[in-house]
Amino acid sequence: MKRISFGFLFPLLALILLISVLNRNVFMVPALGILLSPFKGVVQNEKSTQTTMEMDFGRKVTSTILFDERSVPHIFANNSSDLFFNQGYVTASNRLWQMDFLSYAAAGRLSEVFGENLLDYDRNQRRVGLLTAAKNSLAFIETNPETKIALDNYTKGVNTYINQLALTHLPFEYKLLDYRPEPWTNLKSVLIMKYMGAQLAGYEEDLPSSYLLAALGKEEYDKLFSNYFINETHKKFSIDLVKDTLPPNSYFDFSFLESSSQIANNSHNPRLGSNSWVIGPSKSKSGSAILCNDPHLTLSIPAIWFELQLHSPEMNVYGYSIPGTPGIIIGYNNSIAWGLTNGSVDVCDFFKLELKDKFNQYLLDGAWKDTKQTIETIKIKNGKPFYDTIYYTIHGPIVSDFRFGAKEKEGLAMSWALHEPSNEFLALIQLNKANTYERFKAAIQHFKCPSQNFAYADVKGNIASHLQGRIRKNSKSGMGKFILKGTDSKYVLKELLPQELPSLYNPERGFIGSANNNPFPKNDSLSINGYYSELRYNKINQLLSKPNKFSVDDMKQMQCDNTDRLAELAVPVLIPFISKNNKYEKELREWNCAYTKETKMALVFERWWAFIKDNTWDELAKYPKVQKQPDDLVLLDLIVNDPSNLYFDDLSTDVKETASDIIQLSFEQLTQSWLSYPLTWGDYNQVSIMHLTDIPALSCRKKSLSGHANAINALSHNWGPALRFIVEMSDKPQGYGIYAGGQSGNPASQKYDAYLEDWTKGRYYPLHFFLNQAEGETQTTYKWIIK
């Protein structure tokens, strides 16, 4: 994507005559006079601030921000207050509209900007409780002096930038949408952290899982929808199902489901996750530990990541922050490095209530309890405020009631770990300062939601991985996986799993991988329901288990590996069922299972497997309320180890089919319909990186790229490895990284999407981690002096 120039709007001699007419908002159309003004409008956004400047903000001590050739800020401050003030200021100078917009989205306030079309979104956001959760967490966070100093000064830095902004230099989107930035608050920072947590911990399938359990029965349901591990010891492919050894539940009758409507798919993406791995000295060519991390998130521009270095007497840390929040989330310092992958644990549950008097009371333990009611005021641009009543129970809020929400979830109370007060900022700030494994472990104890796997490496060659989060212990079979009984308090999930969650430290094999896989030991009755993915983890293990040692360049290639692990496991099983005379048989046999954008075989397998799935699970189509199929590896296990299973019988025929019949039928369907498919994988896998407003001109749309959800390079249509990060923990750690986007949030800046082309090509930038300001002065291009 090329830098956007607003020069096409001019010359505007005629337009100037229209300024006074257009300088107001009419029927939700932006105030075009301001937008197009050559003196205050979008043309002014093309002006660069990439020059050395001295700014006097009345700070007691002078700080310096050095900028390297990629405009990465390296902040040198003499105390924590100035450090976070400068982080707030420099982040706002690059990403103010983005961070402000995210705080509005989290709080359910988009109607204030876009009007009544976003009212339903705002009502839902208020009802799921992000704003309430953020307020409760903020009160908890501000009891800690360390995080209060960080938030207060970050907020002061952002507001210092806002207060000096003239209309001329407002970020483009404010001019386009005709509104102004309001003062930043500590609450806005907490809202953004909660919003990101919701993206990673908001997926649940309680209602469709309950329906399928009622329809299939527990034995059949467990065969198809249990969590599992790939069996690494058998010569032929197989999986081991995780057995639920908890005491059975007696109340699962689900009679209430009979009257429910079509069950909608969850809007959250369960594949949002990440890869990380660490290798120790025994697997490293350099003899130093290497940490690799690539978080998979929705791809957007401005990018979700902002790169910087923070240096003070208490810390010297380099890495990636989320605009609007203090500290660094993924990165390294002089002693340790860390990365994150989503724990994929189910921390969102629903309780079926018995209600009366229009939701004013609910039944609990044989007695009627009053619901707590709050009235949310939702302001609407160019309209009157909307007042929404939300009902709360001991379990949590009722998201859908008789006035609003999904019909099938009406009267269900939501219990979500994200609602509970927590202080992830304390975890991150202490992590930024940590210089030993013990301090690393102490820091992450403060990270509660979303559950995360923390990867660790240090300059001494130690490697580790820890699952961390607030995870409830199940006391009965199916708790947390299905709709819970809201009329009995014994089903309230009270007991937490122990603080010592699954972890590894310096394993004998010399490496640790994590890719949203099940982190609990096999058949562990404590394991909670989760939406785990075993394929990428299995591929990482396969590659790192090789006897050779690895370099940083090897790690770069591995992060960009396009091999679909499902195809690797399935193609050798499926090919024997194809006639050797078929034109695709030889190509499939020789295919390396890489989903490169140039290959055609990726599409052949992709569609073949889709036909196999649909033809196998046609029995589940009898239950039209739920559109859910078992996991791909459950199907592959049946093909290999139970080919006569009843699910392979085609209901539309009189004969009893087996797996071989389904595989052959599916291939015939593929070849008969092939002409309707794109020619290459790149023709199908077109990735769009959209601006937060979805305006095409500000976005990078439909770029043909390699990768697949089941590959380490998990690129799909609008999500994938938003960041790729590698650090070699030598005496002076050396990092390499790139993210999808650029440092600036200004569409007219050359830094807006400066990294995109290199990111699509799998390139990396060396990260300039300076030990002190004097070193940085010799290697940077301009600086800001803050007084």
User: Which amino acid, residue 150?
Assistant: A
Give me the pLDDT at residue 678, please: 67
Measured between alpha carbons, how far is 693 from 691 in angstroms, rounded to an integer?
A: 5
**Residue whose pair of structure tokens reads 């309320």 in the numeric block:** 625
Whole-number CA gyration radius for the chain:
27
How many degrees, rounded to 5, is the angle at CA 760 between CA 759 and CA 761? 90
The interaxial angle of helices 218-225 and 206-216, nearest 10 deg, is 130
Measured between alpha carbons, how far is 166 from 157 in angstroms, rounded to an integer?
A: 17
User: Which amino acid, residue 28?
Assistant: M
> Could you say which DSSP state residue 335 is in?
S
Give me the pLDDT at residue 584, please: 84
Contact partners, residue 478, CB within 8 Å, separation at least 6: 213, 244, 249, 252
Q: Pull the structure tokens for residue 680.
A: 């290459």
DSSP for 21-64 reads: HHSS-BTTB--HHHHH-TTTSGGGGG----S-EEE----SS-EE
Give me the pLDDT at residue 218, please: 87
Report the Cα–Cα distance between both ends of the chain, in Å, rounded: 37
Give me the pLDDT at residue 8, please: 37
Give me the pLDDT at residue 642, please: 97
> Could you say which DSSP state residue 658 is in?
-
* Paired residues of 505 in beta bridges: 464
How many degrees, rounded to 5, is the angle at CA 523 between CA 517 and CA 527? 60
Residues in the chain predicted with pLDDT less than 50, given as ranges, are 1-29, 32-34, 36-40, 43, 259-261
Contact partners, residue 186, CB within 8 Å, separation at least 6: 138, 141, 142, 151, 152, 155
Long-range contacts from 757-763, C-beta under 8 angstroms, 24+ separation: 759/724, 760/703, 760/705, 762/556, 762/559, 762/560, 762/713, 763/738
> Could you say which DSSP state residue 507 is in?
-
Dihedral sign of CA atoms 422, 425, 426, 430 in order:
positive
Give me the pLDDT at residue 233, please: 85
The b/e string for 4-27 (b: 16+ C-beta within 10 A; e otherwise) is bebeeeeeeeebeeebeebeebee
How many degrees, rounded to 5, is the angle at CA 750 between CA 746 and CA 753? 75
Q: Where are the beta strands (DSSP E) in 180-269?
A: 228-230, 239-241
Measured between alpha carbons, how far is 304 from 739 in angstroms, rounded to an integer?
A: 9
